Structure 1
Amino acid sequence: MSAVSISKKDIKTIMKSDQTIVKPAAAVTPPVAARPSMLALKSRAFFQWLLPPVFGLLLLVAIWALISYQSPNLPGPLPTWQAATELFSDPFYINDPNDQGIGWNILASLERVALGFGLAALVGIPLGFIIGRFQFISRMAAPVIGILRPVSPLAWLPIGLLVFKAADPAAIWVIFISAIWPMIINTAVGVSKVPQDYMNVAKVLNLSEWKIVTKILFPFVLPYMMTGVRLSIGVAWLVIVAAEMLTGGVGIGFWVWDEWNNLNVEHIIIAIFVVGIVGLLLEVALTSLAKRFSYE
């Protein structure tokens, strides 16, 4: 078998061809997208927060305008706006005790709500702690709350008039008895949901009842309690309008009834928006207060 002869020149040629390296193509760098500025991000977040409520209000006004177009007796948005501009140009006038500006009527209603709501908080929150803390008292109070809580708020008004012999205390009584139930129930539920381990630690440390309430129960129950407070303020503001319609005097409820007797429908619609806006502001204030004093 004959050997194949390879010259040194051929060997060098082969080695040179093996060492040839194909350089990879340069990687194509994609263009860097421009990052949005901080101002653009804040503007986008602001519009995302603002636009949905604005669209909702515009939809409400459009539906209102359509209904008023179909019902000539119902004032539309434009006549109501003109009446509101005139009404709030002097909201604190006093012609006589039964003819006062809408500002005085709102303040009178807020004063009654503050008194009734404050009394309900002073009684309802401690009572909720007691009911949630002691099972015997909870079982004893359950049928009483179950019977009295569903009673219509206005059903309590004749009892108030009979006992207090005056319209103002009767209206405050109606607010009190209507606003107390959410505070009692939510506070009691919060106390009943305190983990048993916390109470076992309190027994081991031999804590007094006051220490248990202030150091263990109150921080845990605070979110439940504030939920009850928010519900109660809504109920109180809702009830005062109906109560004042029946009791008379100065107040937003009586003002609505008086405007109805004068067939001033624009002012009634204005009062509806005023009641809604004031109720919303009260709830927002309590929500901010709850977040400020949160233990989480």
Structure 2
Amino acid sequence: MSAVMETTMNENPKPAAASAAAVSTAAATPVVKTKSKQPKRSPLMAGLLMKVLPPLTGLAFLVLVWQIIAAKTGNFPTPLVTLQEAIKLFSDPFYRTGPNDQGIGWNVLASLQRVAIGFGLAALVGIPLGFLIGRVRFLSGMFGPIISLLKPVSPLAWLPIGLLVFKSANPAAIWSIFICSIWPMIINTAVGVQRVPQDYMNVARVLNLSEWKILTKILFPSVLPYMLTGVRLAIGTAWLVIVAAEMLTGGVGIGFWVWDEWNNLNVPHIIIAIVVIGVVGLILEQLLVALAKAFTYEQVSN
């Protein structure tokens, strides 16, 4: 019996060993998956492409629509004709041959000067008034109805009042900028003061801080983001108003330049002026956005 078992065990080891070797070989052999070769794209290049491609696509779409409109309308200038006129115009933007014949550079500077004066006066009046309205409840109730009544009035509706009071076109245009710029500053500053956490004011009361300390150490840092938002809204409105005001008052300015070119039926120059107005407004907006980001702090949660 034992002899038979030994004989059987001696006859079967080769297949068992072979199958074990096959299993171990199959387990040891790595499975190779073929991958399609794709060009590697740098994350930096991909991010740059996503930033550049959409604006360029939008500009190309705008030029295409412009070209279609110019092709359908016989008296509308094509993008190429406008570009050629722009090259001529910006080759000497600061020429001056008379009081009513000046380059586009002088007209833009004149408009910016009016905006700076009117906007500066609005900031000098509107920001302190916003602090007072937000701080004193009696003043909030006093000026609230006045602001609600006058804020929806179109800025150009104030232009005849300016002409009547100041007897001159330039101060009247500055007055229009002032009256349209002051409301966003007052409202946003007052709202910022009213949203200061009450805990801050309680601590100031416990420490017996003076009103000046409360203003400089508590209110101003807390209200600054709201105040800068009002300033950003005001500068956009002021730049819109000055163009319309200069069309009505005349003189030197980008608005008057647009109206003068319309009287001369120089449509390419009108389109160039529209682009210049948009670019200048965009630059002013982005400068104030950068200023607001520099002074805005986010709360970090633990």
| TM value normalised by structure 2 | 0.87
1:206 maps to amino acid: N
State whether structure 2 residue 215 is matched by structure 1 residue 216: no
Q: Is the 8 A contact 2:123 2:185 kept in 1?
A: yes
Q: Which residue of 1 aligns with 2:76?
A: 74
How much does 1:168 deviate?
1.0
List alignment gaps of at least 5 residues for structure 1. none
How much does 1:195 deviate?
1.4
Q: Which residue of 2 aligns with 1:58?
A: 60
DSSP 3-state at the match of 1:92: coil
2:148 maps to amino acid: G
Q: How many residues align?
A: 288
Measured in 2, the distance between the counterparts of 1:136 and 1:36 equals 67
Measured in 2, the distance between the counterparts of 1:35 and 1:123 equals 61
Q: How does 1:276-295 map to 2 (within 5 A)?
A: 276-295=278-297
Taking only the aligned residue pairs, the percentage that are identical comes to 67
Q: Which residue of 1 aligns with 2:137?
A: 135
> Stretches of 4+ moved more than 6 A in 1?
29-35
How much does 1:130 deviate?
1.2
Q: Which residue of 1 aligns with 2:183?
A: 181
For residues 80-137 of structure 1, the C-alpha deviation after alignment (integer angstroms, 9 at most, x for no partner) is 1111111111100000011100000000000000111111111111111111122221
Measured in 2, the distance between the counterparts of 1:116 and 1:156 equals 13
For residues 204-246 of structure 1, the C-alpha deviation after alignment (integer angstroms, 9 at most, x for no partner) is 1111112212222222222211111111000000000011111
Deviating more after overlay: 196-205 vs 98-107: 196-205
1:200 maps to amino acid: N
Q: 1:268 aligns with which of 263, 267, 270?
A: 270
How much does 1:34 deviate?
9.9
Q: Is the 8 A contact 1:113 1:237 kept in 2?
A: yes
1:80 maps to amino acid: T
Q: Is the 8 A contact 1:219 1:295 kept in 2?
A: no
2:274 maps to amino acid: I
Q: Which residue of 2 aligns with 1:118?
A: 120
How much does 1:6 deviate?
6.4
Q: Which residue of 2 aligns with 1:103?
A: 105
Q: Is the 8 A contact 2:225 2:295 kept in 1?
A: no
Q: Is the 8 A contact 2:122 2:178 kept in 1?
A: yes
Q: 1:250 aligns with which of 227, 252, 255?
A: 252
Change (3 A) 1:45 1:97: same
Q: Which residue of 2 aligns with 1:84?
A: 86
How much does 1:292 deviate?
2.2
Q: Which residue of 2 aligns with 1:241?
A: 243
Deviating more after overlay: 194-203 vs 248-257: 194-203
Change (3 A) 1:217 1:6: farther
Change (3 A) 1:79 1:185: same
DSSP 3-state at the match of 1:274: helix
Measured in 2, the distance between the counterparts of 1:36 and 1:140 equals 66
Change (3 A) 1:36 1:210: farther
How much does 1:143 deviate?
0.6
How much does 1:75 deviate?
1.3
DSSP 3-state at the match of 2:27: coil
State whether structure 2 residue 133 is matched by structure 1 residue 158: no
Q: Which residue of 1 aligns with 2:48?
A: 46
How much does 1:294 deviate?
2.9
Q: Which residue of 1 aligns with 2:196?
A: 194
| TM value normalised by structure 1 | 0.89
Measured in 2, the distance between the counterparts of 1:50 and 1:127 equals 43
Measured in 2, the distance between the counterparts of 1:190 and 1:151 equals 24
Measured in 1, the distance between the counterparts of 2:39 and 2:141 equals 62
How much does 1:31 deviate?
8.9
Change (3 A) 1:35 1:125: farther
List alignment gaps of at least 5 residues for structure 2. none
Q: Which residue of 2 aligns with 1:207?
A: 209
Measured in 1, the distance between the counterparts of 2:284 and 2:49 equals 25
CA RMSD of aligned residues (A): 2.6
